[in-house]
Structure 1
């Protein structure tokens, strides 16, 4: 079994249990404890998990600052299901925005063979879509090395020069009262991309629903379509605001 397959299995077990020990991992994957230790060390270096004395813990969303790699490791099953559904609405010839969120990043694997243009401020999105059928437009500005994203006044000017058929965006929290972000930079880019798009998709796993954050930056009128694995009472509230809700399972 390759490292990539072992890492995927480790992340699945962490998603299910929150914490695992080395002996358990060795038995589940069918490799030696030495191999497991080496894999955990590599994955911890890349921010995919937190190494503990006898094993590993799932990345916590409560630890700040949150790096892109840490966020990408959280709820990856839900994010993949959300992005697979969202990708069904992307057609050859589309021009789309993709923001720097960890959920939107997972859209890349489902659109590599589509003949589309992607405008993004996400460095991981650019890296993932290179050498694919997709044409990439990287937004200019200052690079945030932790979030692996481009922000700033120049990025907003760049976004304002383009028009897209669809925008695929994320937020740190969404409630019936509005949308929440962890920084003014991310909120500004989200607003700019939405304003330059004919249709705005919000990609949110269930952990974001009902959650507030540092900054409430807009109400729900920004959102046309919500793609989520959440299926609780807030869903009716979103629909009453005129949002189409695409529900997914994983």
Structure 2
């Protein structure tokens, strides 16, 4: 099998299985572990997969295309509904951090003119949006990850260890039934863990696609969250998980046209 075809097949297997190991891929394609590791390095650089030690995961928000993660927003009406409710939690003069992600980006777009905020983010795209409504923006992080456009790195982590925020709008790749919150990358997990520690109030903004899932690296649990805003109506089992953690739930935030 030619290398390009093999790599396309690797992407397909990763997205179908959610997680594959180098050992599984060497057996499937009959090539060496070194060859598979080179394939994974190339695919990760192109943003088609997410590597971890010994294997690969789907790239965050992968949409099934052969190219880089698309810029269009999945579930725009759900994310906009979450955002419109989330900005009701803002108060004039708040220091606010906006996590990287499409839903937090929608929150930034929905900031009302009536509030003046001190804002920070580790998303360059969100920073440009915040500049329009808030003026000066603190951009946190060292290097830009190609698959999620999140800024990560030691200087960003150092900044967050010394900084407190009135509000943090937090995103996650997955909300497991046991209450754990996880993402596919360790660098992003460290940033998110520090955001949870440094937020006076942490507001988790996540649409229904994140519920009942688990990703590679846990960074917090819902016990660390104060408010959860989502577009769908929570089922009884998931509602009970949040109630036990004493999290204020704001669900079923659907846009009515």
Q: Please, what TM-score do these two structures have when normalized by structure 1?
A: 0.70
The alignment partner of 1:226 has SS state of strand
CA contact (8 A) 1:98 1:169 kept: yes
Which sits farther off after the overlay, 105-114 or 223-232? 105-114
Residues 153 and 68 of structure 1: CA distance in aligned 2, closer, same or farther (over 3 Å): farther
The alignment partner of 2:134 has SS state of coil
Question: Which position in structure 2 is the counterpart of 1:123?
Answer: 124
The alignment partner of 1:107 has SS state of helix
Deviations 1:168-199 (A, max 9, x none): 01000112311111111221111111111101
| Unaligned 5+ runs, structure 2 | 1-60
Q: Does 1:101 align with 2:101?
A: yes
Mapped to 2, the partners of 1:137 and 1:92 lie a distance apart of 18
Question: Which position in structure 2 is the counterpart of 1:218?
Answer: 220
Q: Does 1:239 align with 2:243?
A: yes
The alignment partner of 1:84 has SS state of helix
Question: Which position in structure 2 is the counterpart of 1:249?
Answer: 254
Mapped to 2, the partners of 1:239 and 1:104 lie a distance apart of 24
The alignment partner of 2:132 has SS state of coil
Mapped to 1, the partners of 2:211 and 2:158 lie a distance apart of 31
Mapped to 1, the partners of 2:95 and 2:67 lie a distance apart of 30
Count of residues paired in the alignment: 190
CA contact (8 A) 1:84 1:110 kept: yes
Aligned pairs for 1:148-227 (under 5 A) are 148-177=149-178, 178-227=180-229
Mapped to 2, the partners of 1:65 and 1:142 lie a distance apart of 24
CA contact (8 A) 2:183 2:216 kept: yes
Mapped to 1, the partners of 2:116 and 2:209 lie a distance apart of 32
Deviations 1:51-86 (A, max 9, x none): xxxxxxxxx74549996644x511111000001101
Residues 86 and 76 of structure 1: CA distance in aligned 2, closer, same or farther (over 3 Å): same
Mapped to 2, the partners of 1:206 and 1:127 lie a distance apart of 27
The alignment partner of 2:129 has SS state of helix
CA contact (8 A) 1:87 1:110 kept: yes
Residues 63 and 188 of structure 1: CA distance in aligned 2, closer, same or farther (over 3 Å): farther
Q: Please, what TM-score do these two structures have when normalized by structure 2?
A: 0.68
Mapped to 1, the partners of 2:124 and 2:66 lie a distance apart of 18
Question: Which position in structure 2 is the counterpart of 1:230?
Answer: 232
Question: Which position in structure 2 is the counterpart of 1:111?
Answer: 111
Mapped to 2, the partners of 1:152 and 1:171 lie a distance apart of 18
Aligned pairs for 1:22-101 (under 5 A) are 61=62, 63=64, 69-70=70-71, 72-101=72-101
